[in-house]
């Protein structure tokens, strides 16, 4: 398996820059979370990688070959989003059989097993499925296709919590048995923080964070204390957020804390969730200081 390399990707709609010189390498066999506020450019980026929309500049390479020039390379990339990909009148069992015929190594057995787990009746026609079950069916297909890069744009939209949990479990199961790359664009950051290995954050069409989740969270803190206690340290730290409750100040910080500060008995230090890091980082004008491609 090779990495997928995005080089100098530009895209604008109606003279508005949506992607501005995106350079990024997706590693094989890695689960990525792709986060960003509404309109940040996540779907545009995934659609470009999957060749569903054209760029205004730049290219996507697999093993140094442009994926848009070779059909066999395109089969290595599979995108699931809110668009319906199937003929509405077709039975699910027929869609599975046809997909298996198209992709030689489609895991038909696993598709049937997942259909049972999700209680999906394969005799139904696609058009007759509820919104949630249409999503479930598309997700089942995404876990069974032999693509090396599976792109999931808001994959659990419309799924109840039990089905979301089951999907995350199955994604991890299939990944463990057959590692490949999943890129999951979602706003449900905390829900997937346990399954992703690397976090990508987009802001205004740029990747502003590209880091191992563990590494990012290992140095993400909320430091609580009085102004008097904290003032000597704060100016040397990367503060991404600040809150004040009466006399108590809370500073959201990325980076190593000075030992002297951590030893203060009147200062309280808490670790942050990925969602907390995202919320504060995205508001922080210096967010792009964390680019780490």
Task: Select the residue interacting with ligand ATP from 15, 38, 130, 263 (CB under 6 A).
Answer: 38
Contact 86, 95 (CB under 8 A): yes
Closest CA to 84 of 31, 43, 129, 118: 129
Q: How far is the CB of 135 from ligand ATP (least distance, A)?
A: 15
Q: Which C-beta is closer to ligand ATP: that of 126 or that of 278?
A: 278
Distance CA(36)–CA(207), nearest Å, equals: 9
Q: How far is the CB of 37 from ligand ATP (least distance, A)?
A: 7
- DSSP strand E in 122-226: where? 149-153, 181-185, 198-203, 206-212, 220-226
Q: How far is the CB of 17 from ligand ATP (least distance, A)?
A: 9
**15 touches ligand ATP (CB under 6 A):** no
Contact 280, 221 (CB under 8 A): no
Q: Which stretch binds ligand ATP (CB under 6 A): 40-48, 100-108, 125-133, 170-178?
A: 40-48
Q: Which stretch binds ligand ATP (CB under 6 A): 38-46, 136-144, 206-214, 231-239?
A: 38-46
Q: Which stretch binds ligand ATP (CB under 6 A): 33-41, 64-72, 87-95, 173-181?
A: 33-41
Q: Which stretch binds ligand ATP (CB under 6 A): 10-18, 85-93, 171-179, 227-235?
A: 10-18
Which position has the token pair 């598709």?
A: 111
Q: How far is the CB of 36 from ligand ATP (least distance, A)?
A: 5
Closest CA to 269 of 224, 232, 226: 224
**14 touches ligand ATP (CB under 6 A):** yes
Q: How far is the CB of 13 from ligand ATP (least distance, A)?
A: 3
Q: Which C-beta is closer to ligand ATP: that of 41 or that of 241?
A: 41
Total of residues contacting ligand ATP (CB under 6 A) = 11
Contacts 24+ apart (CB under 8 A), 104-111: 104/146, 105/146, 106/144, 106/145, 106/146, 107/143, 107/144, 107/146, 108/144, 110/143, 110/144, 110/174, 111/140, 111/141, 111/144
Q: How far is the CB of 279 from ligand ATP (least distance, A)?
A: 15
Helix (H) or strand (E) holding 190: helix 189-192
Instruction: Spell out a b/e string for 258-274, using b for 16 or more CB atoms within 10 Å of the CB, else e.
Output: eeebeeeeebeeeebeb
Site map (CB under 6 A) of ligand ATP, residues 42-81, x = contact: xxx-------------------------------------
Dihedral sign from CA coordinates of 126, 130, 31, 110: negative
Q: Which stretch binds ligand ATP (CB under 6 A): 39-47, 63-71, 97-105, 225-233?
A: 39-47
Touching ligand ATP, residues 209-238 (CB under 6 A): none
Site for ligand ATP, rule CB under 6 A: 13-14, 18, 36, 38-44
């Amino acid at each position: 398996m090779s990495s997928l390399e995005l080089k100098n990707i530009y895209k604008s709609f109606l003279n508005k820059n949506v992607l501005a010189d995106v350079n990024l390498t997706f590693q094989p066999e890695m689960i990525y979370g792709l986060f960003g506020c509404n309109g940040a450019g996540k779907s545009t980026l995934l659609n470009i990688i999957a060749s569903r929309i054209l760029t205004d500049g730049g290219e996507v390479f697999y093993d140094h070959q442009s994926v848009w020039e070779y059909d066999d390379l395109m089969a290595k990339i599979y995108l699931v989003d809110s668009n319906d990909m199937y003929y509405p009148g077709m039975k699910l069992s027929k869609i599975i059989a046809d997909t298996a015929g198209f992709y030689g190594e489609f895991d038909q057995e696993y598709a049937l097993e997942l259909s049972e787990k999700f209680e999906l009746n394969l005799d139904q026609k696609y058009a007759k499925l509820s919104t949630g079950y249409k999503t479930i069916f598309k997700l089942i297909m995404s876990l069974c296709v032999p693509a090396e890069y599976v792109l999931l744009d808001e994959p659990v939209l419309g799924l109840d919590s039990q089905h979301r949990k089951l999907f995350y479990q199955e994604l991890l199961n299939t990944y463990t048995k057959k590692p490949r790359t999943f890129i999951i664009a979602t706003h449900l950051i905390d829900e997937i923080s346990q399954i992703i290995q690397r976090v990508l954050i987009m802001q205004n069409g740029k990747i502003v964070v590209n880091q191992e989740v563990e590494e990012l969270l290992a140095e993400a803190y909320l430091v609580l204390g009085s102004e008097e206690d904290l003032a000597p340290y704060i100016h040397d730290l990367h503060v991404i957020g600040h809150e004040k409750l009466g006399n108590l100040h809370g500073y959201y910080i990325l980076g190593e804390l000075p030992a002297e500060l951590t030893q203060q008995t009147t200062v309280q230090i808490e670790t942050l969730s990925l969602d907390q890091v995202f919320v504060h980082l995205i508001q922080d004008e210096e967010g792009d200081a964390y680019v780490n491609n």
